[in-house]
Chain A
Amino acid sequence: MSTTTGTANEDRVELSKADSKAVRQRSVRLLRTLLRPVRRRFIITVVLVVLSQAAKVSGPLLIAYGIDSALPAVRSGGNLLPLLVTGGGYLLAAVASSWLTATYLTATARLSQAMLLDLRIQVFRHTQRLSLEFHETYTSGRIISRQTSDLEALRELLDSGIADLASGIIFMVLTAVSIFSLDWITGLLVLAAAVPMYFLSRWYQRRSQAAYRSSRVVSARLIVHFIETMTGIRAVKAYRREKDNAATYDELAEDYRRVTVRSINLNGIFQPGLVLIGNVAVAVVLLVGGFRVLDHGLAVGALLALLLATKRFFQPISQMAMFYNSFQSAQAALEKVSGLLEEVPTVLPPRTPVPLPRAQGHIRFAGVEFGYGSGPAVLPRLDLDIPAGQTVAVVGATGAGKSTLAKLIARFYDVTAGSLTLDGVELRQLSIADLRRAVVMVTQEAFLFSGTVAENIALGNPAASRAEIEAAAREVGADGFIRALPDGYDTDVNKRGGRVSAGQRQLISFARAFLANPAVLILDEATSSLDIPSERMVQDGLHQLLGGGSGPGGAPGRTALIIAHRLSTVAIADRVLVVHDGRIVEDGSPAELISGGGRFAALHGAWRDSLV
């Protein structure tokens, strides 16, 4: 088993032979899958390149023809036809070659952009599909670096590589054929140059692979640091991290510079090395050919032609070196991207989903166990039945496992053991669409996207009209402050909702959930940053939303799971669960529990005392 599956160990630069081969293959495979849908366009592009090369070659031929045939014809009696043919042909060739060049430039851009778009979307889709567990450790900076600087490397390859490679190969093959047809000994000499070139390329491949790999790793580090600083800039400033950060960044940037120089320098040996081999070959051809000329084995003219052809043969070599260089760089980048794409989401949609078009909201935990990753069990064993339409309050100390419980219902994570069902169907068996329609969770972190207030609320239901959006905002009591914003519902909330206050962010998140109107609503500390009057308003709205009758088709209203430290919320609950160390230690109606004198009663008492 390889140790480099997915993104594991992606920061390692020195890989064992087997691992190195595995990641390279993975990366080439990705390149191939990207090429497959555009292979026709690829072929057309290559053909265009070849044709434009052919048109280019015809120019000098026409000049030769003009001087050898048209000139004598004009001189000897004014026959202008060959001259017209020459001139017209030249113009035609010029038009054809430049038009073909322009066309293949555009075609290359289309091709490369199509592949990039494809890969961008694939990576985006895949990162969205990956589970939270993955994101918690991988960090957004890395994903951004995969999506930006790694793709940039691929883009370089695609933009110039195809034309370089295709025209280079065509050119070399044609020249080689003409050399062989002139003189096979020279042909063999030229071919012999391939041997040192092969070894030089092998050397370059091995060294540059490591260099580009470390360049990807270091640039990812640089990006991660950059993104984290910019995201947490307030804390950076408040805690005077600027100097230390700058020192870290200097170091990372210097590392990055060093690996960049290393890869450029390798190329700086490789490319002149190839030129050198070519030049040596020319000298050898001259020497060998010269002896044969002296021995009358070869005509002087033929030797001259062979020398020129040999020189020409090696001309595209530096282009090819450039191609190989970008190929190495792109391959290192694709190693990382393909690793990310290889990550398997731990929370997978089912192969054959059980349809649940209209959920009632009956939730059942049976023998559920759960722990994050390989960590300790957070929920050691849980049995719980929440009938449809019930409003359940979940209380307990911080870190007890309340959010975990909620996140399981929203299927952010899959249970480690036991079964968790909605209306009798295992959550794992529901299609993602059905599940998200049925279960919506307002998370503890109220995250707003940059965009308008209306867009942010509409996230709850993209099909909602403006009137519905406003109605949802009114119900949670957010309408007032939204209208007071400079552009009302069309105000841009800035990145992460920085334009509005923390409480206002929570209200907007709340409005989202109202708009989504699911069968099961989970509220995780959704009112923690609100003042008491706003909280009260939200609760009124919530009460209406959850209350019977308003449910779809006369259903018994909505199931709600409300996590709150402020026990005021508990007032509207039918049932209270007290969670302690991942276990449900008390379960009953609020009144029962208060009179029962257990933990909840104590908690409630403490809360009451805290109020005044």
Chain B
Amino acid sequence: MADAHTSKDNSTLFTSLGRLAPQLKPIIWPLIWGLLSALAASVVALVVPQVYRVLVNTALQPGNGTKGLWTGAAVVLGLGILEAGLIALRRQFVIVPATTVETRMRTSFYRHLQSLAVEFHDRWGSGQLLSRAMSDLNFMRRWMAFGAIMLVVTTLTVVIGVSLMFSMSWQLGLIFLAAAVPIAIFGFRFRLSYGRVSRKSQDQAGDLATAVEESVHGIRVLKAFGRGPEALDSFAGQAQELQATEIHKAKSLAVFSLVVTLLPELALGSGLVDGILLVSAGKLDVGALVAFFATAAVVAGPVESMGPLMAMTLTAKTAIDRHFEVMDAVNTVTDPASPVALDSARGELEFRGVHFRYPDTPAATRDVLDGINLTLRAGETMALVGVTGCGKSTLLSLVPRLFDVTAGTLMLDGVDVRQLTLSALRTHVAVAFEDTTLFSNSVRDNVLLGAAEQPGLSPEDVLEQALEVAQASFAYTLPQGVDTLIGEEGLSLSGGQRQRIALARAIAARPAVLVLDDPLSALDVNTEERVTERLRSVLESTTTLIVAHRPSTVSLADRVALLQDGRITAVGTHSELLAANSHYRYVLASLTEEPRDLDSHLETGLGEELAEELGAGKEAGA
């Protein structure tokens, strides 16, 4: 949402633009050449009238032959070609370097985003990020290739023009210059106010993109409740806000342009009166007066374009700020400085005093994970059970380091996971998320997304095996078999099909540790049973942590851990816990509450309060 990126809008124009410097360094020469070409083109344009003057005074005088005329015309033609050539040259010089810098910044932006922690992505809408990756960088490139160069050329033209004017008449020059003082003051105010609106409009445009993205991803819900009109209203409201900001921005620029063009003109108007009086008083000759105004006319164009160029520069500043805001975001989950190598993991996983809290949790509340002690022996399958929202998924997300523990340690084969490189850790660990995150590719690409190279097996075999274990062989019967595109987020599959593809993906990775978050929730009882059976045999040597809401899934596990109030309050086999732990019965045994479905043998466990096994399995720690 919008508040994730409210700006600390205190960087000045120059510090912001200065941040581009390292990017510009490699292309500084082309930029300078481009600048020189632009300057030369302006000079050439100014030279042509001089040729006319010479021609009128010499070749075109009656009685002269045609030779002078031919030469004159040839010179004018040559200058004309030169001017066009220089204009083309400016583009040639700057375009490729500028787009290269743009592309480099864009790709490093993307890389940086990919490396940023999940916690960052939870806060930032994709539309907002997209607008920074696309339109901000586009704008910055345009400023670099055109705006910045033209700003320099324009400023130079104005400065040269004004000094020429001074040389013609210092009195008139002073009058003209007097206009510059209010312009400078106004320009300062403009910089602040325009900077603010341009920031606002770019942020709003990003939020609008986010709104579009959500409205498409959530289209099923919107359709199911017929809330399209409401979504449209809220989108329209947002778009209108953006519209208002844009108009405000345009107004602010218009007022600035008005001041920038009006004041010099007013100065010229009084200069005209004054000049005529000076001439009539004999303090100035007519030629100088004419030349003064001729030069003023040349300067008028550049002065007028100062407004838009300033605005462009300010918008470029905003774009750069927005870009670096993301680039400055620190990655909280990083590779260690000196990683420990762990070539093949046995898969022993130990949580030792693990604490975790989400960054935005209020200070008073206790941690979501409040001292987890749990050991999974290598090859063991452990089910994790707990009520809705107790932190199971959170616990799981610590294993591949999607989040980092806030205290305590999580160890794989006795090595703190933070000491492994992320890619090594994530090679050893594969996850199936509770909401199946599939990509709009083919089934094959989705399943083989993180697949490991397996000696003697072609990718085709790996695919087939994984699909077989996950009971997802239906994929072969899809219209184009495993090459069928499954739609955005796999939404052209049924819920259970989606889930099995995601499960197959985790299996195909052949990890040492498999983390499955409620992977069978969308399956019918029979399929679930088949998957469970296959999983059990395949998972023999794989350490598995599996979240379970149903006894049927629990039955897959060697042991069960019960998560309660942020701690593991019991570990044991299903029947042990069922017998000994009342909270476990509460969470898992639906039948105890429903007399008509009651299974008699459950009764025996009721009321008996056995000691809870805490942190069991320590002995496997070595």
Asked whether A237 lies within 8 Å of B400 as measured between CB atoms, the reply is yes
In the complex, the answer to whether B286 meets A102 with C-beta atoms within 8 Å is no
Q: Answer whether residue A611 sits at the interface, using C-beta atoms and an 8 A cutoff.
A: yes
Q: Using A279-B77, A498-B122, A565-B525 as known contacts, say yes or no to A106 and B591 having CB atoms under 8 A apart.
A: no
- List 13 additional A-B contacts (Cβ < 8 Å) besides A237-B422, A495-B126: A66-B276, A98-B257, A101-B257, A128-B215, A227-B213, A240-B423, A253-B107, A268-B88, A282-B80, A398-B523, A436-B226, A525-B522, A531-B388
* B36 CB, nearest partner CB in chain A, Å: 16
The 6 closest A-B pairs by CB, nearest first: A436-B226, A279-B80, A398-B496, A109-B250, A239-B450, A503-B388
Selected contact of A531 from candidates B122, B386, B591, CB within 8 Å? B386
B220 adjacent to A445 (CB under 8 Å) = yes
A-B contact pairs, 14 of them (CB 8 A): A63-B272, A67-B276, A90-B269, A98-B257, A109-B251, A128-B222, A149-B135, A230-B130, A239-B430, A272-B84, A286-B76, A447-B218, A495-B122, A496-B214
Chain A residues with CB under 8 A of B365: 486
Residues of the A chain whose Cβ atoms lie less than 8 Å from the Cβ of B87: 271-272, 275
Chain B residues with CB under 8 A of A399? 474, 494, 496-497
Determine if A249 is an interface residue (Cβ-Cβ < 8 Å).
yes
User: Are B450 and A238 in contact, CB atoms less than 8 angstroms apart?
Assistant: yes
Residues of A within 8 A of B293 (CB): 60, 63
Interface residues of A in 84-122 (CB under 8 A from B): 84, 86-87, 90-91, 94-95, 97-99, 101-103, 105-106, 108-110, 113-114, 116-117, 120-121
Residues of A within 8 A of B416 (CB): none
Query: In the complex the two chains form, what is the Cα distance from A558 to B360 in whole Å?
Result: 41
B261 contacts partner chain A, Cβ-Cβ < 8 Å:
yes
A226 touches B243 (CB 8 A): no
Residues of A close to B122: CB separation below 8 A: 494-495, 498-499
B353 within 8 A of partner (CB) = no
Interface presence of B406 (CB below 8 A)? no
Query: B239 — which chain A residues lie within 8 A by C-beta?
Result: 117, 120-121, 124
- Tell me which of B60, B250, B497 contacts A293 (CB under 8 A): B60
Classify chain A: how many residues form its interface, as a range: 35 or more
What does the 1/0 interface line of B68-86 toward A look like (CB < 8 Å)? 0110111011011101110
Residue with the highest number of chain B CB atoms closer than 10 Å, among A222, A293, A565: A565
Residues of B within 8 A of A135 (CB): 216, 219, 488
Prevailing SS type, chain B contact patch: helix
**Is B64 part of the binding interface, using a Cβ–Cβ cutoff of 8 Å?**
yes
User: Are A233 and B69 in contact, CB atoms less than 8 angstroms apart?
Assistant: no
Most buried by B among A240, A296, A435, A512: A240
Taking a contact as CB atoms closer than 8 A, the residue among B69, B126, B247 that contacts A291 in the complex is B69
Are the C-beta atoms of B488 and A136 separated by less than 8 Å?
A: yes
Q: Give complex CA distance A286, B437 in Å.
A: 71
* CB nearest to B82 among chain A residues: A279
| Given A481-B389, A528-B522; A94-B262 close (CB under 8 Å) | yes
Residues on B with C-beta less than 8 A from A293 are 60
Is A125 a contact of B474 with CB atoms below 8 Å? no
Contacts of A71 in B (CB 8 A): 276, 279-280, 286
Q: Residue B509 at the A interface, CB < 8 A?
A: yes
Chain B hits for A512, CB < 8 A: 225
Residues of A within 8 A of B209 (CB): 144, 147-148
Q: Do A232 and B437 touch (CB < 8 A)?
A: yes
Enumerate chain A residues within 8 angstroms of B43, measured Cβ to Cβ.
none
Within the complex, which residue of B114, B210, B389, B578 is in contact with A246, where a contact is CB–CB below 8 Å? B114
Report chain B residues within 8 Å CB of A450.
Answer: 1, 125, 210, 214
In the complex, A440 has a CB within 8 A of chain B? yes
Instruction: Identify the stretch in B7-15, B93-101, B339-347 within 8 Å (CB) of chain A at 4 or more residues.
Output: B93-101
In the complex, A462→B213 CA distance in Å?
21
Question: Quick one: which of B79, B276, B426, B587 contacts A86, CB cutoff 8 A?
Answer: B276
- The distance in angstroms between the C-alpha atoms of A307 and B76, with both chains bound, is 11
Which of B152-160, B227-235, B317-325, B458-466 lies on the face that meets chain A?
Answer: B227-235
B277-304 contacts to A, CB under 8 A, are 277, 279-280, 286, 289-290, 293, 297
CA of A443 to CA of B498, assembled, Å: 14
Which residues of B from 347 to 373 have beta carbons under 8 Å from A?
360-362, 365
Q: Which of A62, A238, A241 contacts B431 (CB 8 A)?
A: A238
Known: A71-B276, A103-B254, A234-B433. A124 touches B235 (CB 8 A): yes
Contacts of A481 in B (CB 8 A): 388-389
Residues of chain B within 8 A of A311, CB atoms compared: 48
CB-CB contacts below 8 Å: A269-303 with B: 269, 271-273, 275-276, 278-280, 282-284, 286-287, 290-291, 293-294, 296, 300, 303
A110 touches B491 (CB 8 A): no
Contacts of B389 in A (CB 8 A): 481, 500-501, 503-504
- Interface residue from B95, B223, B402 paired with A268 (Cβ < 8 Å): B95
Interface of A is mostly: helix
A397: which B residues are within 8 A, CB to CB? 524, 526-527
B329 at the interface (CB under 8 A from A): no
Q: Which of A83, A291, A296, A436 contacts B225 (CB 8 A)?
A: A436
Q: B183 at interface (Cβ–Cβ under 8 A)? A: no
Check if A294 sits within 8 Å of B497, measured CB to CB.
no
Taking the closest CB of chain B, its distance from the CB of A255, in whole angstroms, is: 10
Task: Give the residues from 185 to 237 in chain B that come closer than 8 angstroms, CB to CB, to chain A.
Answer: 205, 208-210, 212-228, 230-232, 235-236
Assembled-state Cα–Cα distance A272/B133 (Å)? 31
Q: Which of the candidate stretches A256-264, A379-387, A547-555 sits at the interface with the other chain? A: A256-264
State whether the Cβ of A127 lies closer than 8 Å to any Cβ in chain B. Answer: yes
Most chain A beta carbons < 10 A, residue from B273, B293, B601? B273
Chain A contacts of B250 at CB under 8 A?
Answer: 105-106, 108-110
Is residue A129 contacting chain B, with contact meaning CB distance below 8 A? yes
Contact among B80, B228, B430 for A283, CB-based, below 8 A: B80
A171-179, A188-196, A532-540 - the one binding chain B: A532-540
Choice from B110, B216, B262 contacting A226 with Cβ under 8 Å: B110
Of B106, B230, B251, B258, which one neighbours A462 at CB under 8 angstroms? B230
Chain A residues contacting B231 (CB-CB under 8 Å) are: 124, 128
Per-residue CB contact flags for chain A residues 38-62 toward chain B (1 = under 8 Å, else 0) read 0000000000000000000001101
Residues of chain B within 8 A (CB-CB) of A536 are: 590, 593
A276-B80 contact in complex given A102-B255, A223-B130, C-beta closer than 8 Å: yes
B310 close to chain A: CB less than 8 A = no
Say yes or no: is A460 at the interface (Cβ < 8 Å to chain B): yes
Counting CB contacts under 8 A, is A228 at the interface?
Answer: yes
Does A610 make an interface contact (CB < 8 A)?
Answer: yes
- Is A603 in contact with chain B by the CB < 8 A criterion? yes
What are the residues of chain B within 8 A of A453 when measuring CB–CB? Answer: none
Question: Do A70 and B276 touch (CB < 8 A)?
Answer: yes
